[in-house]
């Protein structure tokens, strides 16, 4: 028989399933038995410091234009409620401000907490720490890291906007402190995969990665700028590293040697680099266990370099381990206008044993600056969601120039041709403007299955034409409204000038 749950266990489960703050607050006020379990869940995740600042006595802080700030120095007796609740926090995600908070925390609050804290560690149980670099910068990052205990497992330091003429000292100080403070750290993230590459000196200190300290590190993802050569050598010796996503250093000589078991535990790798830098790196480093590899070329390689680049791939990865390989062709050939891929598959019918790229593999072609004609078969049977369509491209992406798409005998399920059409329209908004030439597929055979496939792709083409017409109509309306607005502003300005005279 199963063991019966105790009343306290039932209470804890009820609190853990309550998915809104108001319900948890009511449970915390109901009785003594529900207070502590509700408080534990209520304070498990904090997204900014405003609720904690409000734990201090009311005469110690004030709100000026929705901004919280301290009005006096903090005494040791002021900290009791803060320390009581901060011990419950497991996820500290510092964003300023958040939708859940009515107030914005002034930057001086962190300095005041640091100057008067009664204990070295203010958040002893935090496992996840996230920092919003766009809102908070990095000036106080190392101070906030000093508030955390040694149990941190996950750190995400936001998306930095670095430039060569303004090195980010706060970021360097914060990164240098990580290895010394968090020996149990498993995951480190900094930046996003579609960030522009920073061409200045690597802002990461060699002290960030000390294998004897970060032996538990499993994920290391640093986007947007190159890491130092010394950091790569340190990464190679980490005994638990499984996911590596970095930009390789530029013009590196790789004067050192990698140990025989370098990168032996890495299963997934994402590398951004120039083609010559990758060729030189692959000559000294191997990934014997990698099953998934994504290589993004950020320069325009010479024709003589291209062959060496693909030879370097074969040299660096094991054919027994590598199951998925993506090489960004959009970065490799930025002046290409026509791309014809997969001619063998295109000349024959698709069957269940064929392995086709997913629709997400079309994204690099959508980001290509000049491509107008694309022929590539893909798997049109994969699930597509509305959120996946909306987030298919990085923010701020311009319109793709692709006006013609050939899909060969790409399979397409009957259940969601409209979602496939919406996804293709999101990637290639100019599709649909050339009627029959906009979307093309192979001539299907006379079987029932062949007719069904042809009808599905016809439906997709019809929808693409509709989406294109709607989009162009919206564009015309916006242009007319803008012209009308400008004309109205001009007339007002003219009238104001006449009145003045």
Q: Write down the pLDDT at residue 125.
A: 92
Please answer whether residues 204 and 174 qualify as being in contact, where contact means their C-beta atoms are separated by less than 8 angstroms.
Answer: no
In the structure, what pLDDT confidence band is assigned to residue 83 with cuts at 50, 70 and 90? very high
Phi-psi region of 165 (alpha: psi -120 to 50; beta: other; left: phi over 0): alpha
For the cut 70, the answer to whether the pLDDT of residue 35 exceeds it is no
CA distances (Å), origin 42, targets 105, 127, 153: 20, 16, 21
- Using pLDDT thresholds of 50, 70 and 90, give the confidence band for residue 58: very high
Q: Return the structure tokens found at 479.
A: 């242009």
Residue 134 burial by Cβ neighbours in a 10 Å radius (0-12, 13-18, 19+):
exposed
Closest alpha carbon to 188 in 129, 146, 147: 129
Closest to 364 measured CA to CA, from 397, 390, 412 = 397
Residues in contact with 324: Cβ distance below 8 Å, sequence separation at least 6, in sequence order: 291, 292, 293
* Per-residue pLDDT, 352: 43
Computed over every residue of the chain, the mean pLDDT equals 81
pLDDT band at residue 377, thresholds of 50, 70 and 90? confident
Q: What does the alpha-carbon distance between residue 254 and residue 336 come to, in Å, rounded to a whole number?
A: 33
- Please report which confidence band the pLDDT of residue 463 belongs to, taking 50, 70 and 90 as the band edges: very high
Q: pLDDT by residue (tens digit) across 306-356?
A: 778 888 998 999 988 988 888 875 555 666 677 766 544 444 444 444 567
pLDDT at 114 over 90: yes
Question: Is residue 185 predicted with pLDDT exceeding 90?
Answer: yes
pLDDT of residue 43: 78
pLDDT attached to residue 351:
45
CA 275 to chain centre: 24
Question: Is residue 404 within 8 Å of 373, Cβ to Cβ?
Answer: yes
6 vs 184, more confident: 184
Average pLDDT over residues 270-278: 90
What is the distance, to the nearest Å, from the Cα of residue 34 to the centroid of all Cα atoms in its chain? 38
What does the H/E/C string look like for 355-400? CCCCHHHHHHHHCCCCCCEEECCCCECCCCCHHHHHCCCCCCCCCC
Residue 77 · residue 57 · CB < 8 Å? no
So what's the pLDDT on residue 346?
Answer: 40
Q: Is 275 left (phi over 0), alpha (psi -120 to 50) or beta?
A: alpha
Residue 1 has pLDDT above 60, yes or no: no
Q: Write down the pLDDT at residue 70.
A: 94
The Cα–Cα gap between 482 and 493 comes to: 16
Q: Is the pLDDT of residue 203 over 50?
A: yes
Average pLDDT over residues 205-210: 56
Who's near 208: CB < 8 A, 6+ residues apart? 175, 176, 178, 179, 231, 234
What pLDDT, in 10s, does the model give residues 292-306?
A: 999 988 876 676 677
Check residue 425 and give its pLDDT. Answer: 92
Domain ranges of the chain: 1-42, 332-501
Q: Element (H or E) spanning 62, and its range?
A: strand 61-64
């Amino acid at each position: 028989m199963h063991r019966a749950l105790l009343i306290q266990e039932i209470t804890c489960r009820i609190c853990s399933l309550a998915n809104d703050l108001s319900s948890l607050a009511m449970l915390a006020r109901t009785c003594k038995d529900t207070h502590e379990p509700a408080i534990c869940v209520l304070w498990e995740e904090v997204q900014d410091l405003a609720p904690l600042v409000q734990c201090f006595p009311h005469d110690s802080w004030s709100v000026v234009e929705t901004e919280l700030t301290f009005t006096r120095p903090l005494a040791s007796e002021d900290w009791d409620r803060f320390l009581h609740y901060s011990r419950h926090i497991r996820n500290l995600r510092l964003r300023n401000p958040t939708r859940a908070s009515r107030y914005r925390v002034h930057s001086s609050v962190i300095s005041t907490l640091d100057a008067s804290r009664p204990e070295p560690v203010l958040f002893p149980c935090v496992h996840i720490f996230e920092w919003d670099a766009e809102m908070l910068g990095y000036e106080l990052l190392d101070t906030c890291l000093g508030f955390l205990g040694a149990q941190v497992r996950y750190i995400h330091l936001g998306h930095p906007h670095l430039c060569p003429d303004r090195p980010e000292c706060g970021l360097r100080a914060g990164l240098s402190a990580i290895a010394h403070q968090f020996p149990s750290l498993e995951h480190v993230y900094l930046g996003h995969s579609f960030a522009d590459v920073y061409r200045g000196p690597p802002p990461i200190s060699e002290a960030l990665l000390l294998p004897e300290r970060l032996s538990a590190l499993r994920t290391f993802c640093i986007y947007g700028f190159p890491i130092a050569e010394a950091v790569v050598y340190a990464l190679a010796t980490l005994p638990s590293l499984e996911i590596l996503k970095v930009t390789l250093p530029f013009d590196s000589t790789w004067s050192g040697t990698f140990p025989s078991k370098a990168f032996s535990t890495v299963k997934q790798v994402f590398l951004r680099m120039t083609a010559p830098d990758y060729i030189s790196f692959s000559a000294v480093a191997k990934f014997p266990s990698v099953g998934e590899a994504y290589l993004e070329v950020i320069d325009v390689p010479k024709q003589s370099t291209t062959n060496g680049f693909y030879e370097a791939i074969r040299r660096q990865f094991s054919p027994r381990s590598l199951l998925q390989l993506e090489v960004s062709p959009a970065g490799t050939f930025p002046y290409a206008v026509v791309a014809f891929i997969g001619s063998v598959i295109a000349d024959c019918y698709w069957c269940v044993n064929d392995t086709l790229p997913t629709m997400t593999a079309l994204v690099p072609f959508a980001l290509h600056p000049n491509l107008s004609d694309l022929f590539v078969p893909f798997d049109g049977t994969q699930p597509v969601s509305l959120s996946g369509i909306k987030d298919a491209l990085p923010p701020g992406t311009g319109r793709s120039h692709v006006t013609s798409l050939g899909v060969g005998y790409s399979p397409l399920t009957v259940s969601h041709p409209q979602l496939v059409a919406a996804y293709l329209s999101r990637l290639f908004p100019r599709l649909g403007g050339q009627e029959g030439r906009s979307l093309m597929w192979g001539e299907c055979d006379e079987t029932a299955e062949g007719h069904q496939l042809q009808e599905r792709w016809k439906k997709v083409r019809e929808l693409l034409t509709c989406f294109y017409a709607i989009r162009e109509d919206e564009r015309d309306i916006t242009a007319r409204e803008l012209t009308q607005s400008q004309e109205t502003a001009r007339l007002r300005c003219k009238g104001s000038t006449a009145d003045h005279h």
